[in-house]
Amino acid sequence: MTADAASAPVEGTGAAGPAKDGPAARGPRVRTATAYPRYVAGKVAGAAVSLLAVLVTGFFLFRLIPGDPVKFMTGGRQVSAEQLAAYRREFGLDLPLWRQFTDYCGKALTGDLGTSYQFSAPVIDKITEALPNTLLLTGTAFVLYTALGILLGTRAAWRHGRLGDRLGTGLALTLYSLPSFWLGLLLIITLSVGIGPLPGLFPTGGMESGGEEGLAYVLDVAHHLVLPVVTLVAVEYGQTLLVTRSALLDEMGSDYLTTARAKGLRDDLVRRRHAVPNALLPTVTLIFINLGRTVAGVILVETVFSWPGLGGLFYQALSVPDLPLVQGLFLVFAAAVILMNTLADLLYPLFDPRVGR
Amino acid sequence: MTTENTGVRKTAGDDTAAAGKPPSVRPRALAWQRRRASAARFWRTYRTHRAGVFGLAVLTLFALPALAAPLLTGSDAADVTDAPGAPLESPSAEFPFGTDRFGRNLLALVIRGARVSLLVGLLAAVLSVAIGTLIGVTAGHFRGWYATVMMRITDWFLVMPTLVLAIALATVMSRSLLTVVVAIGVTTWPTTARLVRAQTLAVETRPYIERARALGGGHWHVMTRHVLPNVMPLVLAQTTLIISSAILAEATLAFLGLGDPTVVSWGGLLQDAREAGAVSAGHWGYLVPPGIAIAVVALAFTLCGRTVESVLNPRLGVSR
């Protein structure tokens, strides 16, 4: 607290210009020039270790638990001993464990994640096919819920304890407690199927109606995108709101805000230029740490809305279960979250010059 | 001053307790007296938080029917072959929530589902918090390479998409409630571990730890007698908060078809509803009760957890 208070006034006055180009406007620091590359190297090495750990987990999780993977693959069907042996050879399970592991790592690094039983197609092809659709859905939802959460969280903290704050926080907590798949089903039943006199306003699922081109196609996809995005935003914005709110509340007692008020700044300016930029720093970290939860939300929402993305594919793979596909998607989801977190770590010093020096 | 007196007597008694002298009974009685007093103080503060009291009331409302489920619903409520009504009946006097796709009484199923959801939620949260506390306390107590390795593992689990890991675990293990508990428990502990470690580091700098060490207290003694009691409040608040996410995770796993197919749970009911085409048929009554139940119980645990947190940590209490 005292360390914060010491550096905070400097921080506040430094950011008195437009908050965004604050660090850049200060010009390069001599110490930053050597420290930032070291910081980057440390973070990248950490991410590499994490990715390796994901690879190892993927290997052991899907090969060694519990008992014979071939029996699991054949799912209790009648198979002769020769067929079992053929399966073993096909999947390289007759090799010693360390050979299996090195083969698996080598293949995974070159993008070969095996063949899906269900689709008889390379896992990597199924994944690259579905990836853009997931990115569209997740990206749209992520931008919207982050913006909404920060906006509402700031307002709630600035007027904390009042009716608006209590209602807003209560609503966020309630939506946060809803199972996302249930909210999705309810939205389909009210807005897609239609209830009473209300006609169906939105499609029940999928990503396109088919047959449209050009602008009509874009509008059609956007129309299909509405309900899944609304569902994701509704269940995820609460977390951002709460994080922003408590980060801003922590800042609100700080001396530099009193100084800013004392020099006659309007309340709005004190909030926008002094309090919020500082409160956003912990918020950014937590938003990225919580990405894991968003991945869970995406899986469920895509399942419910039959969105042709990675989450929907994961559900299809689970119901078989199509182990190579489950394993491949496990690697992709974990790697995506780790990469996003590393990216956030790398960008963080640009927002907060105190980090990474 | 009396308080000073008892304080001195307590420390004296603590050290002579092993010798089995008569005064050794007294400090124990005193400890219990203090525990009762602090519990009463806790409850007095808790009572002033309206959200927390509301959450507690809601939980009681759900827990009582869940405990009494065999009396209320009869043992055959979940029996598919001998269902009392026609499939997908609308709500009536006999079936207040209507019937499910097999003609079973939906109200009875929701009550029975509460048992599974609450049980799995509690067990998974206890497992998760136990792992988190163990790792947090040991990583805070033993510094050096052990702590470094443990914290790297914790950080790794922290960024992993929890549900994906839980799904992967549940896929490769056999379908049972134990699997669900383990899958949720071993994937949600990292937050607890980090919080507990931070608290352990703070506690270990206090002078009475030095005193305990100087008097010959070993690692086990310091961790269980001095550190653990001090991190317990944090652990309690954390457990309440994790129950809420564990209940949501259980419902999610059941909805994805990874739960125990032989028991009725709220997530499983929703999966049944979806498979029966309740959504496209606009069959409201089937979807709403289990979903509301999940949401309300999860919310109630969140409210209780936040209240416990703010009672035990007054600095947060003002702001949150």
- Give residue-wise pLDDT tens across range A181-214: 899 988 888 887 766 666 667 777 777 777 777 7
DSSP secondary structure of B150-214: HHHHHHHHHHS-HHHHHHHHHHHS-SSHHHHHHHHHTTS-HHHHHHHHHHHHHHHTSHHHHHHHH
Residue of B nearest to A296 (CA): B163
Which residues have a Cβ under 8 Å from the Cβ of A73 and sit 6 or more positions away? A87, A91, A117, A323
Which residues have a Cβ under 8 Å from the Cβ of A185 and sit 6 or more positions away? A304, B270, B273, B274, B279, B287, B291
Please tell me the distance in Å from A26's CA to the nearest CA on chain B: 33
| pLDDT of B130 higher than 80 | yes
Q: What is the model's pLDDT at position B1? A: 36
Q: How far is CA A171 from CA A164, A184, B290, in A?
A: 11, 17, 20
Are B186 and B131 in contact by the 8 Å Cβ rule? The answer is yes
What domains lie within chain A, and their CATH numbers? 45-67+113-351 (1.10.3720.10)
Residue of B nearest to A246 (CA): B320
Please, which pLDDT band fits residue B320 given cuts at 50, 70 and 90? very low
Please, which pLDDT band fits residue B126 given cuts at 50, 70 and 90? very high
Percentages of chain A per state (helix, strand, coil), in multiples of 5 = 75, 0, 25
Closest CA to B287 of A293, A170, A304, A238: A304
- Amino acid A181 reads F
Query: How much of chain B, in percent, has pLDDT values that exceed 70?
Result: 81
Q: Which of the residues in chain A have pLDDT under 70? A: 1-33, 64-79, 91-93, 194-200, 355-357
| pLDDT of B156 higher than 60 | yes
Mean pLDDT of B59-73: 81
Name the more confident of B110 and A10.
B110
Q: What is the model's pLDDT at position A25? A: 45
- Amino acid A102 reads T
CB contact under 8 A, A176 and B162: no
Name the more confident of A115 and B20.
A115
Question: For the segment B216-237, what is each residue's pLDDT rounded down to a tens digit?
Answer: 988 999 998 888 888 888 888 8
Chain B contacts of A195, Cβ < 8 Å?
A: 282, 284
ipTM of the complex: 0.78
CB contact under 8 A, A177 and B161: no
Token pair for residue B34? 């203090």
Strand partners, A269: none
Q: In which residue are the tokens 């930029």 written?
A: A277
Residue of B nearest to A235 (CA): B295
- Residue A254 touches chain B, beta carbons under 8 Å: no
CB contact under 8 A, A179 and B248: yes
Q: What is the model's pLDDT at position A9? A: 36
Burial class for B278, CB neighbours closer than 10 Å (0-12, 13-18, 19+): buried
Name the more confident of B283 and A343.
A343
Q: What is the model's pLDDT at position B123? A: 94
Q: What is the model's pLDDT at position B287? A: 84
Chain B contacts of A314, Cβ < 8 Å?
A: 164, 167
Q: What is the model's pLDDT at position A23? A: 44
Chain A contacts of B160, Cβ < 8 Å?
A: 54, 292, 334, 337
- Residue A139 touches chain B, beta carbons under 8 Å: no
Residue in A62, A160, A337 closest to B319 by CB: A160
| pLDDT of B4 higher than 50 | no
Q: What is the model's pLDDT at position B286? A: 81
Token pair for residue A295? 């991945």
Name the more confident of A159 and B100.
A159
Question: For the segment A106-151, what is each residue's pLDDT rounded down to a tens digit?
Answer: 888 887 888 887 788 888 998 999 999 999 999 999 999 999 999 9
Please, which pLDDT band fits residue B309 given cuts at 50, 70 and 90? confident
Are A227 and A188 in contact by the 8 Å Cβ rule? The answer is yes
Question: For the segment A28-43, what is each residue's pLDDT rounded down to a tens digit?
Answer: 445 556 777 888 888 8
